[in-house]
Structure 1
Amino acid sequence: METEKAPSSLPGLGLKILSTGWAGCAMGTIMFGMRIYVNAVMARKWDAALWFALATYFACLAATVVMALSVKNGLGDHMSDLEAWSPDSIREALRYRWYASGVCIISLGLAKLSIINYLITVQGDTLKAKPIRKWFMYFLAYSNLLLCIGMTPVLWTQCKPTNKLWDVSIKGQCSGRRRYQIYAYFWSSYEGALDMVLSLYPITIFWNLKLPTHIKIGLVLLFATGIL
């Protein structure tokens, strides 16, 4: 005889997930608004870096909205609570969670494109003397984008049918989980290495400028925070 599970007395994490997501979204909106102001009013220039940043902003906004839908359906709550109140919520929460993962992967690829195009713009004509740097930066940008795009089919083909990802009761198989795990390890390692490179690369730009040493150190430390 199956016994009814009592709801958990522990607090859920749904509110923390929403708070973190929307707080980050609000900060991003403010910072991007400042970026638009600089480009539109001060620089009067709409470069590729800005458009990639705009695409990244909307992708992150979409991911936050989808994650909110997942929280609405129970993400962050305890399994015993979901099973006691609405068993279907587990499936819906996981479904939206997988959707959010797909959008986040694409947003990471777009974000790196924006950062690298900005670094290329900052260097300007100096890259003409060292074109290898420019091609190296483009290689990093588009290799990362291709990896992010390639991650999408690997993500959604783990199980057949696909909705078995969030509904284990459906008949099917998930033979692609190991493939996804291996690809995810490689992809996340590449992302981490690329973050390291993009954080340290500006040192080669600012250190050769005719600026006081303390300003150079400040700029280097500012960009190096990306390692964290």
Structure 2
Amino acid sequence: MSSPETVDINRVPVVVAILWTETAVAVTIVSMRFCARTMIKRISWDDWLMLVTLGLLIICAALTTAQSNVGGYRHVQFLSQDEIIDALEVNFFLRAANILSFATGKAAVGSLILRLMGRFNQWQRWVVWVVIVLTALTNILNCIFNFVQCRPTKANWNPEVPHSCWPPRAQLDFAYFMSSENIMADVILAILPATIFWNLNFSTNRRIYLSVVLSLGSMAAICGIVKTTELDSIGDDDFTSLERKFGY
């Protein structure tokens, strides 16, 4: 049997189908949310932040499709030099939109928790604000570092131009820090509601419902842990390791 590297495997149909299906589901849910919130005239910050997150998801789906059109989901030995450069360029902007969506998504959940708890539970309010601000700063910084790690910026996806770059480990170390902070944020936003809603004047059923719904963020934490364990293998990916194609 041929090894995977000697077979021209195109993962485009699966990747694009999954992402656009997720996007369609998200559009439906957020649209229903806005319809309901508009009917009761209670649109708040968490709704707008969720809409921004949806916009970033749509951008990610569009950029993934654009990347697939230039061979972004095939092994590099089956791509031309121009195709690799084009795919990597799109990928850098895709990363930026994806990273920012983590921040806005967590900010939306945090804003919802703040709205539900009202003016009480002061220490919990401080915790939520710290999570929102720290996550936003961490993800924005990583997004910036993603582009400025090489000068000129074009060298990030085209190493043939004269350039100077940070040590490869620098960006990877910060990516570990960002992933760890995002996991921590997901865990806190999943657990904290239980310490709030059980002390509010809600019915028992409503307390259970809100606690369960908001604790679903623990699934994001699990996905984040899996993703973090794979960060060190990024440099081994034949799509991102241009030196295999260009002989550096």
- Give TM-score scaled by structure 2 length: 0.79
2:106 counterpart residue number? 112
Report the 3-state secondary structure (helix = DSSP H, G, I; strand = E; otherwise coil) of the residue aligned with 1:201: helix
**Mapped partners of 1:221, 1:133: distance in 2:** 18
Q: CA deviation at 1:216?
A: 5.1
CA root-mean-square deviation: 2.1
1:89 counterpart residue number? 83
Equivalent residue for 1:154, pick from 138, 145, 148: 145
Equivalent residue for 1:227, pick from 218, 222, 225: 218
Q: Answer whether contact 2:8 2:78 (CA < 8 A) is retained.
A: no
2:30 counterpart residue number? 32
Instruction: Give 1:189-204 correspondences, 5 Å limit.
Output: 189-204=180-195
Instruction: Give 1:53-202 correspondences, 5 Å limit.
Output: 53-83=50-80, 87-125=81-119, 127=120, 130-202=121-193
* Structure 2: runs of 5 or more not aligned: 220-248
- Give TM-score scaled by structure 1 length: 0.85
Q: CA deviation at 1:132?
A: 2.3
Q: After the TM superposition, which of the residue ranges 30-39 and 151-160 deviates more from structure 2?
A: 151-160
Q: Answer whether contact 1:203 1:220 (CA < 8 A) is retained.
A: yes
**Mapped partners of 1:77, 1:158: distance in 2:** 26
Query: What is the count of residue pairs matched by the alignment?
Result: 214
Equivalent residue for 1:47, pick from 34, 44, 48: 44
* Structure 1: runs of 5 or more not aligned: 1-6
Q: Answer whether contact 2:150 2:156 (CA < 8 A) is retained.
A: yes
Pair member with larger Rg = 1
* Inter-CA distance 18–80: structure 2 relative to 1 (3 Å threshold): same
* Inter-CA distance 44–31: structure 2 relative to 1 (3 Å threshold): same
Q: CA deviation at 1:49?
A: 0.9
**Mapped partners of 2:218, 2:25: distance in 1:** 20
Equivalent residue for 1:20, pick from 18, 23, 38: 18
**Mapped partners of 2:142, 2:58: distance in 1:** 20
- Code of the residue aligned with 1:148 in structure 2: it is N
